[in-house]
Structure 1
Amino acid sequence: MGEGMQTGGDGMSETTSDDWAAGLEGPTKKPLTRTTKILLWLFGLLVAWLTLSNASWLAPDPAGKRTLIAHRGVSQLFDHAGVTDTTCTAARIHPPEHPYIENSLRSLRAAVGRDAGMIQFDVAATKDGQLALFHDWTLDCRTDGKGPIRDRTMAELKTLDIGYGYTADGGKTFPLRGTGVGLMPSLDEVLADLGHLPMVINFKSRDPREAELALAAFARAGVDANQPRFAFFGNARVLGPIRAKAPKAWTMDRAGAERCTSDYIKFGWSGWFPVSCAGGTIVVPLDRQWAFWGWPDRLQARAAEHGARLLLVGPSGDNHSGVGLSRVGQLTRIPASFTGYVWIDDIYNLGPALRPRQK
């Protein structure tokens, strides 16, 4: 009886041991079907094709060098948090590092001296049919004038102090007041002085008449607006006359640029270049470079092939900064091989800081 119990015990032990070993092996693996193998093989080919067709390191070396666009020339920086269309930004500037006032001839010349490849400025029509360099719709924020700028003649605007309203301490002091009397220039003056340089003219209005005024100013100055070195930004409606009469110039409207940029992010993986981007502008935020297929060199090659331009701007998630780059540390995030356009809010500091990297 003892032996039977021992034998039975041994049998149970062997069975338990076998079950435990089988449990370690897991369920029996089924062989892959022929269809599954084909699908995996095709998936691998697709991944390899996507990787190689969008590989920046396989693209040709881009020609030329990057171009810095000085936003409003050398300007005073300000905190953009909570800014709306009606915010008086002159009343929230950072403590000034320099004496320059945006959209003035002095400011534009200073930007060129600090390595700006293009100077950007805003224009508004005057009562007597000229274009003045000014950002706001009304004069109240920045100057000692009142009311809409379009209700004043150029001669009247010349009497104003364009540095009157700038303050960095809530209105206790006005460090630029008195330094900007008579410094609001007309487009005619800018073209006479700096018409040999690349420039970006930004229309604040949607009225096509202002584009006609710009073309007339170019004609008076003897400067051909129909050149790639000139850019005109604004609403699609206001840009109509420019696109019709100066088709070689760079034109960009916000809606068109957003559509092109979105289409490329959606479809660029395929190697197909969106129709909306032909001759258009792809806007690349500094913090979203990873989202653009083939960045930077493959994308640059595709853009060049289709007459498109690449515009690198500041990070999209920074509520305290403007559209452009405003910190020296951001420069390290620009690819060394990038030869497109870079929107700069602080050309005063960033222009000289880039010099060692561009040698």
Structure 2
Amino acid sequence: MGRKLKLAALALIAVAAGVYVNNTNLLTPHPSGKPVLLAHRGMAQRFDERDVKSDTCTATRMLPPTHDYLENTLPSMRASFEAGADMVELDVHPTTDGQFAVFHDWTLDCRTDGQGVTREQSMTKLKMLDIGYGYTADGGKTFPFRGKGIGMMPTLSEVFASFPEKGLLINVKSREASEGEKLAVVLNALPAERRRTIMVYGGDEPIEMIRRRTPDVRTISRAAIRSCLIRYIAYGWTGLVPPACRNAMVLVPVNVGPWLWGWPNRFLNRMTDVNSAVFVLGPYSGGESSTGIDTPELFARLPQSYSGGVWTNEIETVAKLAGKSKDQSATR
């Protein structure tokens, strides 16, 4: 019995040593470079995020503005790239005349002077709206952007034409497979090298369609990211990467990262080997989603010399922290 126990103990030690060697960062080359910064909705007006639900009109909860940019517009995206963003996230809706409108909300009533479901309009009509109409920081006493957003809702084609080489993350707002099919047609019309700079996320059904029809575009959906992270935590110690983590955009809440085998460097290398890109979000707290890395305190929670992706709603602040702002670049 004593001999068997010794053999069992030695076997257990050998397995533990193997797991350690297979996942330690001490033996892993450090990915070089600065973090890849993703500006959520571009340069946007911030709002009070407390108790926000899916149908909350965030334009009426705007914080006092510190800049004049409106989310999901070409000037907002341009300002984000100039501030140091490597990628910009944008939201799309199909229109009745066969285009994709770039706009966040499912309906027009909150932000614009229009009414109704966004995807039930023609792009011609959407171009006539004032997308800054509904923003107020004082309970409706003043509307600082009213009249300034007329005609500023862009099409996805206009975004592609304006930023032909920039990284873009497209958010599909519905759960309709047909929308994924329509977007796949648009993406497949682009050169292959352009598709490699684009990622798509959203509802499970449209994302699955894009994954099948446009396999060289990296994607993620809620079900896919859950499957990716849970399965990786379960058996990633072996070095195997779950199918849902492959050719994907892997979203990692900053408080979940330390639970991932080989975090950060070995994990980043494994994801790179399967053509996936990792982006860290704010902490996950059991709700529907996480926030971005938006403050110096949250940025400080990233691993030292972290070079993966960072999702932020505050690109100006985070670009400076990451040493990627235009002002810093000019002085180096």
* TM-score under structure 2 length normalisation: 0.88
Q: Deviations over 1:279-299 (max 9, x none)?
A: 234322112221111111111
- Find runs of 4+ consecutive structure 1 residues off by over 6 angstroms: 356-359
Deviations 1:249-269 (A, max 9, x none): 111122111101110111122
Which residue does 2:175 correspond to in 1? 206
Gaps of 5+ in 1: 1-31
Q: How far apart are the structure 2 equivalents of 1:210 and 1:74?
A: 26
Q: Give me the whole-angstrom Cα distance separating, in 1, the residues matched to 2:118 and 2:274.
A: 39
The 8 Å contact of residues 195 and 223 in structure 1, kept in 2 or not, is answered as no
Match of 2:79 among 110, 113, 125: 110
The verdict on how the C-alpha distance between 1:283 and 1:190 changes in structure 2, with shifts beyond 3 A counting, is closer
292-301 vs 334-343, which deviates more? 334-343
**Aligned partners of 1:311 and 1:348: how far apart in 2?**
18
1:202-257 CA-to-partner distances (Å, cap 9, x unmatched) read 1112234434444555577x655763211111223213453344321111122111
For 1:151-300, list aligned pairs within 5 A: 151-215=120-184, 217=186, 223-224=191-192, 227-300=195-268
1:146-205 CA distance string (max 9 Å, x none): 111122221211121111112223223322222211111111211111122111111112
Note the aligned Cα RMSD (angstroms).
2.7
Q: Count residues in correspondence.
A: 327
Q: Which residue of 2 aligns with 1:62?
A: 31
Aligned to 1:315: 283
Provide the C-alpha distance between the structure 2 equivalents of 1:36 and 1:76, rounded to a whole number of angstroms.
64
- Mapped pair 1:341 → 2:309: yes
Contact 2:187 2:214 in 1 (8 A): no
TM-aligned CA deviation for residue 345 of structure 1? 1.4
Structure 2 distance, partners of 1:71, 1:34, is: 60
Alignment correspondent of 1:331: 299
Counterpart of 2:224, as a letter, is G
Q: Greater CA radius of gyration, 1 or 2?
A: 1
SS in 2 for 1:119: strand
Q: From the superposition, tell whether residues 322 and 94 of structure 1 become closer, same or farther in structure 2 (CA, over 3 Å).
A: farther
Q: State the AA in 1 paired with 2:84.
A: D
% identical equivalent positions: 39
Quick one: which amino acid aligns to residue 201 of structure 2?
F
Which residue number in structure 2 is paired with residue 47 of structure 1?
16
CA distance in structure 2 between the aligned counterparts of 1:92 and 1:223, rounded to whole angstroms: 41
Equivalents in 1 of 2:193, 2:94: separation in Å?
18
Counterpart AA for 1:81: R
SS for the counterpart of 1:283 is: strand
Asked whether the 8 Å contact 1:130–1:213 carries over to 2, the reply is no
Change (3 A) 1:322 1:170: farther
Name the structure where helix makes up a greater proportion of residues.
1
Structure 2 regions of 5+ residues with no counterpart? Answer: none
The TM-score, its normalising length taken from structure 1, stands at 0.82
